């Protein structure tokens, strides 16, 4: 399918880049975190605190399966930072379209999200350590799922969007 799927760690810019890309390529934009929040009528933080992380992870898989079943097409889809951890999700994401991994360094993540309270996994005494260990654990999974890898740390928004457009055009 000719969707573009944006994956990567919290704070890598999936949503912002997705919206910019969507304007540029005139493709609709969907964010799976937002779709899950709307379906359940709860924020991500509420889902984690009331239902637990495992429940949220099931919802992510269900939603990806649903998007595939309804043959979503020609859409930019941003998925949660933890979605590609599960093998089944990596398979589903790859079946949905071209997967772009927005790779980010842990220090950049920390600078971007240090005052953000909306990400339950980083509400820790030592968020820096948590970011380091989660990224270490996840990076190879993101890379395994990706068709295209873009390093976001030192690139401006316009350049990033242009790079993604160029790389996608080569393989889509």
Structure-block tokens of residue 145: 């799922």
- Identity of the residue, 80 or 97, whose beta carbon is nearer to ligand S3P in the bound complex: 80
Q: Which of 11, 9, 13, 5 is nearest to 156 (CA)?
A: 13
The residue among 125, 161, 131, 153 whose CA lies nearest residue 21 is 161
Q: Cβ closer to ligand S3P: 4 or 172?
A: 4
- Which residues contact ligand S3P by CB under 6 A? 10, 14, 33, 44, 80-82, 119-121
Residue 80: name the closest of 138, 34, 145 by CA: 34
Closest CB 7 distance from ligand S3P, rounded Å: 9
Q: Would you say 9 or 168 has its CB closer to ligand S3P?
A: 9
**Nearest distance from residue 49's CB to ligand S3P, in Å?**
11
CB of 14 to ligand S3P, least distance (A): 6
Please check whether residue 104 is in contact with residue 154, taking contact to mean a CB–CB distance below 8 angstroms: no
């Amino acid at each position: 399918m000719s969707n573009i799927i944006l994956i990567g760690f919290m704070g890598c810019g999936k949503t912002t880049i997705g919206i910019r890309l969507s304007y540029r390529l005139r493709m609709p934009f969907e964010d799976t975190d937002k779709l899950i929040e709307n379906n359940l009528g709860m924020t991500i933080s509420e889902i984690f605190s009331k239902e637990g992380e495992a429940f949220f992870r099931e919802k992510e898989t269900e939603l990806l399966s649903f998007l595939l079943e309804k043959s979503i097409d020609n859409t930019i889809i941003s998925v949660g930072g933890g979605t590609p951890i599960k093998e089944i999700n990596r398979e589903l994401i790859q079946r949905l379209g071209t997967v772009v991994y927005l790779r980010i360094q842990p220090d950049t993540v920390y600078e971007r999200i240090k005052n953000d309270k909306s990400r339950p996994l980083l509400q820790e005494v030592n968020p820096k350590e948590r970011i380091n260990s989660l990224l270490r654990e996840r990076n190879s999974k993101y890379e395994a799922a990706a068709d295209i890898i873009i390093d976001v740390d030192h690139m401006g928004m316009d350049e990033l969007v242009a790079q993604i457009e160029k790389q996608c055009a080569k393989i889509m």
